[in-house]
A and B are shown apart, each in its own frame.
Chain A
């Protein structure tokens, strides 16, 4: 049982390049999330997927796109990377039920992205 797996763990991009961050969970959770965390800051929600087939914007969606490929996988794409997107990206999953908030979220180990 691996939990939440993110790939790659590290990446350096040049400005304008594109890339996709991959996230997979093996806990059969319905909800998945992408966050970014800048140095010394809290986590900011980029996009989330309440269930397979749905995605919604979070607090900082500009410059990103997401795909909920299936129940297990939720990818984050940077179409044209910018230095402001240098950050640590975390994926999370949770078995959320509407109206019930007594579940816990599980996080991946993060992807450290540098855009030069």
Chain B
């Protein structure tokens, strides 16, 4: 599994846009980039996945530059309920699904 690096924590205020960048310099050709969200006392849940360029769904957008060595998760107009831990995962050619420490996003009123 390609190693990923993301910030430990980020603070924001309601209504702002939050951007979390994940570095994955060793990403392989077949690897997708997947982000999960974990609320306190719950298991992680899938929020978005992409391979290149930009992906958008009802929850977030994912921006992937041409070299694919990093990706940015964008959460538009966050609310208090977006306070969570966000995990970036890349690839899985050996069946392992390994999560790092993630990024703790705290949204304040």
- A residues contacting B by CB (< 8 A) are 4, 31, 33, 35, 41-45, 48, 50, 56, 58-59, 90, 92, 94, 96, 98-102, 104-110
Contacts and interface: CB of A to CB of B under 8 A. Distances in A.
B41 A110 contact: yes
B107 to A, nearest CB: 18
Contacts of A92: 43-44, 97
A33 B90 CA distance: 17
B87 interface: yes
Given A50-B95, A102-B51, A105-B97, A90 B34 contact: no
A112 B96 CA distance: 23
B46 A104 contact: yes
Interface string B30-46: 11101010000111111
A42 B41 contact: no
A81 to B, nearest CB: 22
Contacts of A42: 85, 87, 99-102
Interface of B is mostly: loop
B41 A45 contact: no
23 contacts: A31-B95, A31-B97, A42-B85, A42-B87, A42-B100, A43-B44, A45-B96, A45-B97, A45-B99, A48-B96, A56-B95, A58-B98, A92-B43, A92-B97, A94-B97, A96-B95, A101-B34, A101-B90, A101-B91, A104-B46, A104-B49, A105-B97, A109-B43
B46 A90 contact: no
A109 B42 contact: yes
B92 interface: yes
Nearest to B46: A104
B20 to A, nearest CB: 14
Contacts of B34: 101, 104
Given A100-B30, A105-B46, A110-B43, A48 B97 contact: yes
B53 interface: no
Contacts of A105: 36, 44, 46, 97
Given A42-B100, A102-B51, A110 B42 contact: yes
A101 B43 contact: no
